Amino acid sequence: MTASWWTGAVLGLLAGLGVVVAVRASPPMRPVRLADRIAPYLGDTPPPSRLLARPEATAAPFVVVRRLFGPVLGEAVGVLDRVLGGRSAVRRRLAGLGSSMTVEDFRIEQVLWAAVGAVAAAGSVGGGTLLRGRPEPLLILLAAIGGLLAGALGRDWWLSRQLERREQAMLSEFPVVADLLALSVVAGESPVEALERVCRLTGGELARDLRRALDRARAGKPVAAALGGLADETTLESFARFLQGLVVAIERGTPLADVLRAQAVDVREVGKRALLEAGGRKEISMMAPVVFLILPVTVLFALFPGLLTLTSLAR
């Protein structure tokens, strides 16, 4: 009886406190804050364009992971930054990739890759030791550490690989884009109109970057500043020189068609040199099937009839 009385009293007190808090927080009873008082007098400033805003993590996995494991991920990202470093290099590669991902998002992905690698390595080694009948904690710990490092470094390697593939695609697209721009400029169009025509008629990584610069220009940023910002972001030197030439032509009115043709020829020469260098580097690997596969088979076909004759004569 006494226990039920105390339970009812506590529940009634909690219910009463809840009602008081709800009534106190309702709009008629809520106190007016200083920010609410001065907000109507500061609301005449137009909001900035979202195209010029700093990219944020809007992907659903990042939002969910940050809300669930925010403090733990923050500490892990801080430790990873202190151990690996290179925030400027990561930021440069992300900008060259044209990604809206920030350095913090990339570090979160590194932490997730490291966690998955550690769990996978520890699980595989632990399963192997359990099958043998005797688990070895030290070996499992070493495997988890190895998987942790492999996951973190693997995400960094994959970013570099993505950037390398994108640069190769841009190099292959660049001569065609430069020729189209030169033809458009010779036909009498301005550099901006020529860029819009090329972005409308072509696709690929290069056209996407140029389209992003034009979107910034339509949002209110000067065209020269948008192209200059794109030249600072890209990691492809030939494309950066191309954009700088466009900026100079727009600002000073210098002839642009000859410059575009010359840059297209330079890019083709760079592609030829890169192809020759790749062939020189792969010369040994190209010789491996010849030496170890084709040549032994040729020698076998040449010597087999003689060996067969000698064997028959010996009998």
Q: Is 134 helix (H, G, I), strand (E, B) or coil?
A: coil
Q: Is the pLDDT score of 108 beyond 60?
A: yes
Do residues 126 and 135 make contact, with C-beta atoms less than 8 angstroms apart? yes
CB atoms within 10 A of CB 87: 13
Residue 122 CA to residue 145 CA, distance in Å, equals: 9
Residue 239 zone, left/alpha/beta (φ > 0; ψ -120 to 50; rest): alpha
Is residue 152 scored above 80 in pLDDT? yes
- Among 39-43, 115-119, 259-263, 275-279, name the one with the lowest average pLDDT: 39-43
What confidence score (pLDDT) does residue 303 get? Answer: 81
Task: Answer whether residue 32 shows pLDDT above 80.
Answer: no
Mean pLDDT across 122-150:
81
Write down the pLDDT at residue 63: 57
**Alpha carbons 153 and 90: distance in angstroms, whole number:** 13
Contact 144, 118 (CB under 8 A): yes
Question: Is pLDDT of 184 > 50?
Answer: yes
What is the separation, in whole angstroms, between the first and last Cα of the chain?
114
In the Cβ-directed half-sphere of 151, how many Cα atoms lie within 13 Å? 24
Task: Provide the pLDDT for residue 144.
Answer: 85
SS3 (DSSP) at 57 = coil
Residue 292 pLDDT exceeds 70: yes
Query: How high does pLDDT run on average in the chain?
Result: 77
Average pLDDT over residues 290-294: 82
Q: Report the share of the chain in percent with pLDDT over 70.
A: 81
Give the tens place of pLDDT for each residue, 206-244.
Answer: 888 888 888 888 888 888 888 888 888 888 887 888 888
What's residue 57's pLDDT? 45
- pTM, rounded to two decimals: 0.62
Q: Is 187 helix (H, G, I), strand (E, B) or coil?
A: coil
Report how far Cα 74 is from the mean position of its chain's Cα atoms: 20
* 208 in Cβ contact with 98 (< 8 Å): yes
pLDDT of residue 21: 76
pLDDT of residue 44: 56
Q: 59: which DSSP letter?
A: -
Are 229 and 217 in contact by the 8 Å Cβ rule? The answer is no
Q: What is the DSSP string of 215-263?
A: HHHHTT--HHHHHHHHHHH---HHHHHHHHHHHHHHHH----HHHHHHH
Does position 176 have pLDDT exceeding 70, yes or no? yes
Examine the pLDDT at 287 and tell me if it is beyond 50: yes
pLDDT at residue 58, rounded to an integer? 46
- 38-90 tens-digit pLDDT: 776 775 556 656 555 554 444 445 555 556 555 556 666 666 666 666 677 77
